[in-house]
Amino acid sequence: MEKRIKLALVNETFYPHVDGVHILVDQYARLLSEEYDLTVVVSKPKGYGISKAYYKSLPYKVMFCESSHLFKPRGYRFATLWRSFGFKRRFKEEKFDLIHINSPGMLARFAIKQARKREIPIVFSLHSQYDIDFKKYLPKFLQKIIIKNIAEKLNRCDLLFSFNPKIAGYGRSLGITIPSVMVINGTQYELTTAEMKEKYIIQAEEDYHLKPDDNVLLFVGRMIADKGIFLIADALKIVKQSNLVFKMLYVGTGPEFNKLKNYISELGLNDDVIFAGTILDQEKMKSAYAVAKLFLFPSKYDLDGLVKREAASFGCPSLLCEDTFAASDVTHNVNGYVVSDKPEDMAAQICSVLTGDTDYDTIAAKAKETLYLSWADAIKAVKLEYTKLLEQYEEKRKLKK
């Protein structure tokens, strides 16, 4: 029997902290574990005891490192390797053939060091604009030092995975100079038929007490200002003044969740907004996408955004902001809507959609056609890049002999 390649997927934060990176790593692991001897390497979450059932249910192995808080308001954690001797020993004993890093923290530093010692390939995926967090929580002189340190560390990797055409440029702006390849993200949802969508719409109307003529607007993500959650609220205030009927559904939680709820109340939008919290039940999540007329994603933080692809699988187009990474594969009035980050411009576009002033059906169909990609198809490109790297390293070993 041929020996299976030992692959480590490394990410500093994991469940119960649910975000796009968690979903990506989970989907990679589920699909790649069919072919690779795979281990997900993460920091041990706070309150691990209540998450044990989740981790035991996973179809892949998970290796934990002790951890502590990083940027506590964001809810992130970082590995505390100085008190994780057992973890370091287990990691080294695994003798991985390939390492794929998804965050630039202490686990990444350790994994890169081990990869270079053993002369094995290492990939890095750039998911977030780290400098945004640094600007919020660190003094300017320290920001530059840390960004330089991250770039130097990541330049020891072999390959950068970019998820859209703009990400490699952002990496270079940070000082990351390694070769880059574009590997498009997928979604765990299948393309929906009209019959499937109708079933989920009925479920959503029951769950959220919606009327058939409610125009549902949707946001899915962590509740942080950089994702545009307050910009959405300001736009909704203007939409309401136009006397249009709508229901705004916010899905997710986060450090600014309560602040947003209070702001919605201040704007007099309580009757128009539904806070669903975090939805882990995928059938319920599908119903939220199915019932939505428009997906609002004015994030300046995300480098891609799996959620716009999830929305597209239900034929729901997205409204994004100009000059953002998330909007890089969306063309205004073609496969979605792209406007400025001014509340009045966002409100005008929402009103245009709700009043039927745009060719909505054509745009929705184009979003489904151009943005949808299943994880099963997306992972084919990932495996191809892994294979190329492994073959390159095998050739190097042969030349050394």
Instruction: Check which CATH number belongs to the domain holding 62 and give it.
Output: 3.40.50.2000
Strands (E), 282-379: 292-296, 318-321, 337-339
Tell me whether residue 79 is in a domain: yes
Q: What type of residue sits at position 72?
A: K
Helices 140-154 and 130-137, axial angle in degrees (round to 10)? 150
Tell me whether residue 1 is in a domain: no
Res 125: pLDDT: 95
User: Please, are residues 339 and 328 in contact by the beta-carbon 8 Å criterion?
Assistant: no
User: Please, are residues 44 and 12 in contact by the beta-carbon 8 Å criterion?
Assistant: no
Res 198: pLDDT: 96
Q: Is residue 153 domain-shared with residue 32, that is, in the same domain?
A: yes
Which of 273, 314, 271, 267 shows the shortest CA–CA distance to 294? 314
Q: Is residue 80 domain-shared with residue 93, that is, in the same domain?
A: yes
User: Please, what is the Cα angle at 59 between 74 and 83, to 5 degrees?
Assistant: 50
Q: Is residue 51 domain-shared with residue 138, that is, in the same domain?
A: yes
Helix, coil or strand: residue 393:
helix
Task: Provide the domain limits for residue 280.
Answer: 194-371
Q: Is residue 113 domain-shared with residue 16, that is, in the same domain?
A: yes
Res 73: pLDDT: 45
Alpha helices in 251-325 (DSSP H): 257-266, 282-291, 306-312
Q: Give the burial class of 37: count Cβ atoms within 10 A of its Cβ; 0-12 exposed, 13-18 middle, 19 or more buried.
A: middle
Q: Is residue 204 domain-shared with residue 102, that is, in the same domain?
A: no
Torsion of CA 279, 33, 124, 398, to 10 degrees: 180
Q: What type of residue sits at position 330?
A: V
Q: Is residue 293 domain-shared with residue 383, that is, in the same domain?
A: no
Q: Which two tokens stand for residue 290?
A: 């199915």
Tell me whether residue 241 is in a domain: yes
The phi and psi torsions of 111 (rounded to 5 degrees) equal -65, -40
Please name the residues in contact with 51: beta carbons below 8 A apart, sequence gap of 6 or more: 15, 16, 45
C-alpha to C-alpha distances, 384 to 150, 187, 194, 306, 388, nearest whole angstrom: 27, 19, 34, 21, 6
Which of 236, 189, 364 shows the shortest CA–CA distance to 292? 364
Tell me whether residue 111 is in a domain: yes
Helix, coil or strand: residue 14:
coil
Q: Is residue 335 domain-shared with residue 260, that is, in the same domain?
A: yes
Q: Is residue 209 domain-shared with residue 99, that is, in the same domain?
A: no
DSSP β-bridge partners for residue 180: 160
Q: What span, in angstroms and rounded, lies between the C-alpha atoms of 293 and 9? A: 36
Summarize pLDDT for 102-129 with one digit per residue, the tens. Answer: 988 889 999 999 999 999 999 999 988 8
Number of structural domains, the chain? 2
Task: Please give the distance of CA 24 from its chain centroid, rounded to a whole number.
Answer: 7
Low-confidence ranges of the chain (pLDDT < 70): 1-2, 16-18, 46-50, 67, 69-80
Q: Is residue 138 domain-shared with residue 204, that is, in the same domain?
A: no
Radius of gyration, alpha carbons of the chain: 22
Q: Is residue 42 domain-shared with residue 140, that is, in the same domain?
A: yes
Q: What span, in angstroms and rounded, lies between the C-alpha atoms of 53 and 124? A: 29
Query: What is the bridge-based pairing of β-strands 273-277 and 247-251?
Result: parallel
Q: Is residue 221 domain-shared with residue 335, that is, in the same domain?
A: yes
Tell me whether residue 151 is in a domain: yes
Within 10 angstroms of residue 100's Cβ, the number of other Cβ atoms is 28
Look at the pTM and tell me if it is higher than 0.75: yes
Q: Is residue 142 domain-shared with residue 34, that is, in the same domain?
A: yes
User: Please, are residues 42 and 11 in contact by the beta-carbon 8 Å criterion?
Assistant: yes
Q: What span, in angstroms and rounded, lies between the C-alpha atoms of 12 and 208? A: 35
